[in-house]
Every structure is written in structure tokens, then in C-alpha cells.
């Protein structure tokens, strides 16, 4: 892929992913043009005045709920990264219609605009909560994944590709446990939902670089899953606040004890590469042989945070927290 000759657009581009994506892409790949599309003019202003003001960078006010605006934004765009979403679990539970309007209908609008304007590659960001979802956020992301996979049936003979990336908790992201524990240290007590809880962890930079690599290799229809380490909540509590006591408050509505990135049913159609799993489509339009050398997964394989062979030691966890939240 010739990044220097590509025009790239990121929906939800003023979020934490979009800012890191812009930082890495502009600093290392020098695209012909990078467009940040988001609803919030203040965040765009803050991003621009915060150092994101390069000549090949554009800002576009728009909402993924507005397909006509997307069609205008996607003109002369080669690559779209769809990062816009309502992602706070409690907010989605309380505002289900709004979550559906953005996460599902907005994803359909991105697909329609990309097909209409001939965007070559469109990649959606998903989450481990989309695997056997127990909350509305995860359910909307599962539907969005399905839309992106099946969108390849609409491309006809044109080289238009749609795929998705599914990964775990981003270290230090808004609403995550790291900033919560950091705030609670001052009180001397950490709130623990469940002592058994485990999660997949990834830094923001790792997530961005994984997305870039998926854009380079996608054939259209894959769901890409990185191989990630797991973290258990009690190790995290010991690393962040060894002097604090713990208060067990119980698991919250819509929350799992352990997360899963590849289910047993999905593993039947998934393959393994050195650094990732790839869930392949089973639809008639899928004809890629690029994964013929990849290793199929064993029968009944489940990639869950409690069965993961990769776990972080407390020293590795400390290093990941320090590196993953720098500048937050």
C-alpha cells in the first residue's frame, strides 16, 4: 500500500484512537491527505491548536447518522477507518435508541457512502464485548461487524473492501479502571467489582499499529483479532495501589467476569497467524486464498481472557500502565 499517495478519513477522529492514529500516520507515513470527521467543533479546535495542524490534515464537521454528509466527506477518499461510536456501557443501556442510531445505523451509513463513492478500503473498530454480547453496546458492535462483513457482497466487481478489527480494553482510556484506581488511591480504598475478573489489554499505540497493519493486508470480510495479554483485576490493584484496602461492590449490569475475543463457534472459521487470529467469512463471495498457509484453530478453541496463555507479570503490567497512559 502506498500511504503517501492515499487519502484517509477517520470517523470519530477527535477521540483517543483518532488522535493517536493521526499522530502515527502523519509522523511516519505522510499520507496525501488525512481527514478528521467528528461532531464536536470544540474537540476539533483543541486538536488543531494542540499541534495537529499539518498541511495534509483536514477537519470535517459531520455525524455518521447523516449519510448525505458522509457522501460529501468521502469524495476523493481511498481509506476510511470507522471509529465513531457510543461506547460507554451504562450510557448505551440508558439510551438504547441513540446507541442503535450511531453504532448500527451509522455503520450502515458509512458502508453506503463508501460503496457510493468507491472507497477502496473501509475498516471498522469493534470490541471484545461484541463476542456473545451481554449488553447493548456489545450487541450493537456485533451487528456493526456483521454489516461490515456482508457489505462485501455489494461491491460487485469493484475493488472495494470492508473488514473489522476486534480488540480488548485500551489501557487508560476514558471510563476504564486505570484512571478510576488512580483517583481512588487518594481515599485509601479501591472498589473491586469481582476478584476473579480478567481482561484483555492493549495500549492505544498498539491498537493503532494493529489497525494500520490490517488495512495493509485486508481482503474484505475478515474480522481481525490481535494476540493480547490478559490482566487480572487483583494484580492490577496490587500494582497501582499496594497500600490500599479493597471494597468488593459486585459486578455491574451488562458486565462479564471474563471477556472473549474468539468464541468456540467462530473458531471453526478462524485461522491463526503469528500475531493475530483472523475470523474468515463463510459467504459465497469470499474467494481469497491469502490465508491458505495460515494455521486453522483446533476444534473447540476459545480465546478468552481467563484461558489466555499470555498474562502480564506485575513488572510488565506496571510498565504497560506507565507507557500506555503517558500523556493522558
pLDDT digits (tens, 9 = 90+) for 123-172: 999 999 999 999 999 999 999 999 999 999 999 889 999 999 999 889 86
Least confident of 104-108, 233-237, 274-278: 233-237
Please tell me the predicted confidence (pLDDT) of residue 328.
40
Q: How far apart, in whole angstroms, are the C-alpha atoms of residue 263 and residue 304?
A: 8
Q: Given pLDDT bands bounded at 50, 70 and 90, which one contains residue 324? A: low
Contact yes or no for 303/221 (Cβ under 8 A): no
Residues 6+ away with beta carbon under 8 Å from 268 = 297, 299
**Average pLDDT, integer, range 10-29:** 96
Overall average pLDDT of the 243-268 stretch: 93
* φ/ψ (deg, to 5) at 224: -90, 135
Q: How far is CA 318 from CA 2, 105, 190, 208, 227, in A?
A: 37, 39, 17, 21, 20
Q: Which of 87, 129, 141, 256 is catalytic?
A: 129
Cell of 178: 486505570
| Residue 227 is a catalytic residue | no
Tell me which of 174 and 289 has the higher pLDDT. 289
Whole-number percent of the chain with pLDDT over 70: 98
| Domain boundaries 3-324, corresponding CATH code | 3.40.50.720
Give the per-residue pLDDT at 42. Answer: 97
Residue range 76-98: mean pLDDT, rounded? 95
- Average pLDDT rounded to a whole number, residues 91-117: 97
179-194 mean pLDDT: 92
| In the chain, where the domains are located | 3-324
Query: Which residue is associated with the grid cell 459486578?
Result: 251
Distance CA 281, CA 325 (A): 35
State the average pLDDT over residues 46-65: 97
State the pLDDT at residue 327.
40
pLDDT higher than threshold 90 for residue 276: yes
Give me the count of residues in the chain. Answer: 328
The overall average pLDDT reported for the chain is 94
Whether 323 shows a pLDDT value over 80: the answer reads: no
What distance in Å separates the CA atoms of residue 12 and residue 100, rounded to the nearest whole number?
Answer: 16
Residue 325 has pLDDT above 60, yes or no: no
* Higher pLDDT among residues 5 and 90, named by residue: 5
CA distances from 170 to 60, 120, 200, 321, 324 (A): 26, 28, 9, 10, 8
Share of the chain above pLDDT 90, in %: 84
Residue 246 CA to residue 237 CA, distance in Å, equals 9
pLDDT score of 326 more than 70: no
Amino acid at each position: 500500500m502506498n500511504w503517501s499517495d492515499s487519502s484517509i478519513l477517520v470517523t470519530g477522529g477527535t477521540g483517543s484512537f483518532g488522535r493517536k492514529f493521526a499522530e502515527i500516520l502523519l509522523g511516519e507515513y505522510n499520507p496525501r491527505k488525512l481527514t478528521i470527521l467528528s461532531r464536536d467543533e470544540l474537540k476539533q479546535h483543541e486538536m488543531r491548536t494542540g499541534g495537529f495542524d499539518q498541511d495534509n490534515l483536514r477537519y470535517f464537521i459531520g455525524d455518521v447518522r447523516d449519510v448525505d454528509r458522509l457522501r460529501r466527506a468521502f469524495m476523493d477518499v481511498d481509506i476510511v477507518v470507522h471509529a465513531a461510536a457510543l461506547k460507554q456501557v451504562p450510557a448505551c443501556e440508558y439510551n438504547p435508541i441513540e446507541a442503535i442510531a450511531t453504532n448500527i445505523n451509522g455503520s450502515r451509513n458509512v458502508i453506503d457512502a463508501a460503496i457510493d463513492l468507491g472507497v477502496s478500503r473501509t475498516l471498522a473498530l469493534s470490541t471484545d464485548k461484541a463476542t456473545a454480547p451481554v449488553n447493548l453496546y456489545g450487541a450493537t458492535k456485533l451487528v456493526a461487524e456483521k454489516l461490515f462483513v456482508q457489505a462485501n457482497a455489494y461491491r460487485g466487481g469493484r475493488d472495494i473492501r470492508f473488514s473489522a478489527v476486534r480488540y480488548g480494553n485500551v489501557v487508560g482510556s476514558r471510563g476504564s479502571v486505570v484512571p478510576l484506581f488512580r483517583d481512588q488511591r487518594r481515599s485509601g480504598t479501591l472498589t473491586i467489582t469481582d476478584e476473579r475478573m480478567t481482561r484483555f489489554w492493549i495500549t492505544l499505540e498498539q491498537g493503532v499499529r494493529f489497525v494500520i497493519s490490517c488495512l495493509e493486508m485486508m481482503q474484505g470480510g475478515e474480522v481481525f483479532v490481535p494476540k493480547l495479554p490478559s490482566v487480572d483485576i487483583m494484580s492490577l490493584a496490587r500494582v497501582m495501589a499496594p497500600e490500599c484496602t479493597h471494597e468488593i461492590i459486585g459486578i455491574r449490569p451488562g458486565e462479564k467476569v471474563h471477556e472473549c475475543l474468539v468464541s468456540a463457534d467462530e473458531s471453526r472459521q478462524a485461522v491463526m497467524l503469528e500475531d493475530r487470529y483472523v475470523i474468515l467469512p463463510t459467504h459465497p463471495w469470499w474467494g481469497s486464498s491469502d490465508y491458505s498457509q495460515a494455521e486453522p484453530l483446533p476444534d473447540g478453541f476459545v480465546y478468552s481472557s481467563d484461558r489466555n496463555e499470555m498474562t502480564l507479570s506485575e513488572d510488565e503490567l506496571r510498565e504497560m500502565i506507565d507507557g500506555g497512559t503517558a500523556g493522558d
